[in-house]
Amino acid sequence: EDKVVQSPLSLVVHEGDTVTLNCSYEVTNFRSLLWYKQEKKAPTFLFMLTSSGIEKKSGRLSSILDKKELFSILNITATQTGDSAVYLCAGRSGATNKLIFGTGTLLAVQP
Amino acid sequence: NAGVTQTPKFQVLKTGQSMTLQCAQDMNHNSMYWYRQDPGMGLRLIYYSASEGTTDKGEVPNGYNVSRLNKREFSLRLESAAPSQTSVYFCASRKTGTENTEAFFGQGTRLTVV
């Protein structure tokens, strides 16, 4: 059965800290891993990763995929209160086109 | 650009009532998905439709049915609502083909079953 596991489940940091969020996956015929940010409404897309070792970067956020060890990390540097959200990762199966999400990591950034 | 539109945004049902959640996308996407989100549970896949004319069960399909009415619309039906189905429901769509693409989400439907 396909599954995606995220850790930690929740995290509290102070502004300026750097955080690393983890996502491991077991997905049949894996095609891509996606990261989303959710702030009280619909998830918004951050990154899609398909190849190992190639870092995707957007401002203070970056992400990388390891297809051998079946995991991805999302890094946020110099955190701000606006980064407070639930961060979701999802694995897509090429066999079925299923998109399976993890439970998410709730990040709280305190001033 | 409308993107993915879900209706209604809020709904309260009594146990045993039925209702249909509507989802429509205007991006000409092939794949559509229904998820439910409960506190601490992330997004759990209820049903999905890889293309027009096909539907498949996800992780938590019991108590639900779906219809892929056409390429644009994918509805979720609760035949006999139960309190355990109180949740926030999200519809998503994705372009499929040779390239990898992200999924786009609707704004969600908050359903309460009393």
A chain contacts of residue B43, beta-carbon cutoff 8 Å: 43, 88, 90, 101, 104
Q: What is the mean pLDDT of residues A2-11?
A: 95
B92 inside 8 A of chain A by CB? yes
Contact between chains at B103 and A103 (C-beta distance less than 8 A): no
For the cut 90, the answer to whether the pLDDT of residue B41 exceeds it is no
Closest CA to B100 of A48, A29, A35, A62: A48
Between B45, B50, B104, which is nearest A100 by CB? Answer: B45
Q: Which amino acid makes up residue A46? A: L
Give the mean model confidence (pLDDT) for residues A35-60. 93
Is pLDDT above 90 for B96? no
Give the pLDDT band (50/70/90) at residue B1.
Answer: low
**pLDDT band at residue A94 under the 50/70/90 scheme:** confident
**In chain B, how many H helices and how many E strands?**
0, 11
Under 8 Å between Cβ of A86 and A108? no
B108 touches chain A (CB under 8 A): yes
What does the alpha-carbon distance between residue A89 and residue A10 come to, in Å, rounded to a whole number?
Answer: 14
What average pLDDT does range B67-92 have in this prediction? 96
- B45 to chain A, any CB pair closer than 8 A? The answer is yes
Residue B5 has pLDDT above 90, yes or no: yes
Does A42 contact B at CB distance below 8 Å?
yes
By the CB < 8 Å criterion, does A104 face chain B?
yes
Average pLDDT, chain A: 95
| Contact partners, residue A90, CB within 8 Å, separation at least 6 | A4, A33, A34, A36, A99, A100, A101, A102, B43, B103
For residue B98, what pLDDT band results from cuts at 50, 70 and 90?
Answer: low
Residue A89 has pLDDT above 90, yes or no: yes
Task: Provide the pLDDT for residue A82.
Answer: 96
Phi, psi of B85 (to 5 degrees): -95, 5
Q: Which residues of B touch A27 (CB under 8 A)?
A: none
Buried b (16+ CB within 10 A) or exposed e, A35-68: bbbbeeebbeebbbbbeeeeebeeeebebbbeee
